[in-house]
A and B are shown apart, each in its own frame.
Chain A
Amino acid sequence: MSVAVATGRNPRGPRPVIVTPGRIGLYVFLVAAAAFFLLPAYVMLLTSFKTMDEIRQAHIFGWPSGLDFGAWFTAWGNACSGQDCQGVAVGFWNSVKITVPSTIISVLFGAFNGYALSFWRAPGSKVLFAVILIAGFIPFQVFMYPMVRALSTLGIYNSLTGIVAIHVIFSVPLLTLLFRNYYASIPLELFKAARVDGAGFWRIFVSIMLPMSTPMLVVAGIMQLTGIWNDFILGLVFAGRDNLPMTVQLNNIVNTTTGERLYNVNMAATILTALVPLIAYFVSGRWFVRGITAGSVKG
């Protein structure tokens, strides 16, 4: 009724839209938050296109006078970490070599184990699953020394095989949880019908369950892709100097330089390192969010 009084009109039809201070405040908050989150990206991007002279002028929010791609080329191919001046390109390909097999193997392994635990009541399955969940909380540092020794003994310490194995092993808890919960939502009748048709353990997995798991395979794949690419500590310890992932290389280039720091190069290198997961994020959108919410459901 007060709206009618305020506007002096006879109330009829839809209410006139009054922009309340509450509504304005809401948008102010959201825009401010967006600025807070975008600020670093904005600064990074701008800095990477500036020359060192421009950077020294310390106008961090200012536009570069021209789009200087020099820093980008340097970052990719020439940036130095210590004596090594090969840029992050080496790290990029190392990360690819690490991430692709790790993602594929860990996701398939997770699907397989989730399937075995969900549909087949092997003795001890419940205990196994509970233990795996708890194990997901154990910090890396507890595993560190023994795994280093174990991989050494097997001859795969500081090797590509070693780092892939480590990534697969450490992603077991999360992926097993994801897939087991996913398969728990598939009706048991489907499984029973396949059994009645005479299909065995492997047949059911490969021909029926795996094709049905596409959504979860995509979600898990994206999560693993992002997580493994962004990993630092495991790559640092287990990959070996020839296979250092991009994150480790990046940190070396930026944080261990003597002499003047080339900030534009550093920023370009940083963006290059962030590019793959960011593209995956922007492309996958909803799948990314599904990964977060699915992973947060504790069995």
Chain B
Amino acid sequence: MNAAVSIREVDIAYGAAKVVSGLDLDIAPGEFIVLLGPSGCGKSTLLNAIAGLTEVSDGEIWISGKNATWAEPKDRGIGMVFQSYALYPRMSVADNLSFGLRVAGLPKAEIAQRVGRAAEILHLEPLLKRRPSDLSGGQRQRVAIGRALVRDVDVFLFDEPLSNLDAKLRGELRVEIKRLHQQLGNTMIYVTHDQIEAMTLADRIAVMRDGVIQQLGTPAEIYHQPANLFVAGFIGSPQMDLIEGVMRHENGRAVLEVGSEILPLDKLASAAGLADGRRIVLGVRPEHIVPRAPSPHAVSADVAVVEPMGADTVIWSTWNGRSLGTRVAGDFAGRAGDTVSLDVDLAKASLFDAGTGLRL
């Protein structure tokens, strides 16, 4: 088994409530995997189970080729970074970094060497004598990472480490974490509810909901081929446009009947085999809907709200009683009340079953 971390048929329950059910996940060595999902989806619970802070009700957890299901956190070869940093408040940064090593009885020279290396990688040298209360949020988080780093472990666990920081700081530290991964090459398991963090940092993303992995794939796969309606709606900002309608075959062509309007689906390979009368949902990313000169293929919509964001502009328009979001270049000249002609790039669209939500 090559996996750095292997989760096998794991159930985690709090009392009577099952938080995670029958979860299987293999994480390759050196991989940066993100557990992404809304609050309560079980991602933090799963992370705590990998760390050994929470017990599993069933199943096994393997770390670095050994069954770690019953092992103490300190014996699992992991380091963990918490959302609240959890630094020891009455100790200096240097003492925070070295405390675990000192307690373990490592020789002073080795401790100094490890602390020095971590401080260098994370640019903590000027801060070593300070106390956590004298540090900014970003600095504290780096110390928290440093504490995991000195442990000389294979697997790093991150529990929403950037959630307590403001947007600008979050962006800076995100880049640092990615750089860190490139430099060290350790396996990293990262939990977040922020899809931007997931998209930018991950080699693979596991989108979770109610204790079940909805989709496991690269950021590109998740973005362009979402496995179900939940994933489609969760990833992407502004949200993917979802249009409900009925499958029809007219004159040998597959079309989507949406109320009184018709959308041709002949460019979508997956549409061909679908039965007539089936209720489906068409999903299109806002950047795949482009205002063009009126044409027979385009849909006509009324602009309701224009949100200029600088580099891009998001237009919210109403078509056939539905709200469509469109992402266009920042120099868009239209205003609310205008009528636009939107060309929908259906080749890049996704189809989902209206009842199950699954991708077709």
Contacts and interface: CB of A to CB of B under 8 A. Distances in A.
A–B interface present (Cβ within 8 A): yes
A1 B56 contact: no
Interface residues of B, number: 13
B56 A13 contact: yes
A11 B72 CA distance: 12
B77 to A, nearest CB: 11
A15 B68 CA distance: 11
A12 B71 contact: no
B13 to A, nearest CB: 10
Nearest to A4: B70
A11 B59 CA distance: 9
Contact of B57 (A1, A4, A11, A14): A14
A57 interface: no
Nearest to B75: A1
Interface in B37-78: 55-60, 66-71, 75
Interface string A1-44: 10110000011111110000000000000000000000000000
B55 A1 contact: no
A1 B63 CA distance: 12
A78 B75 CA distance: 71
B273 to A, nearest CB: 43
A1 B71 contact: yes
Contact of A13 (B57, B68, B71): B57
A10 B67 contact: yes
A1 B64 CA distance: 13
Contacts of B66: 1
Nearest to A10: B67
A11 B68 CA distance: 8
Interface of A: 1, 3-4, 10-16
Given A1-B75, A3-B70, A13-B56, 17 more contacts: A1-B66, A1-B70, A1-B71, A3-B71, A4-B67, A11-B68, A11-B69, A11-B70, A12-B60, A12-B69, A13-B57, A13-B58, A14-B55, A14-B56, A14-B57, A15-B55, A15-B70
25 contacts: A1-B66, A1-B67, A1-B68, A1-B70, A1-B71, A1-B75, A3-B70, A3-B71, A4-B70, A10-B67, A11-B60, A11-B68, A11-B70, A12-B58, A12-B59, A12-B60, A13-B56, A13-B57, A13-B58, A13-B59, A14-B55, A14-B56, A14-B57, A15-B69, A15-B70
Interface of B: 55-60, 66-71, 75
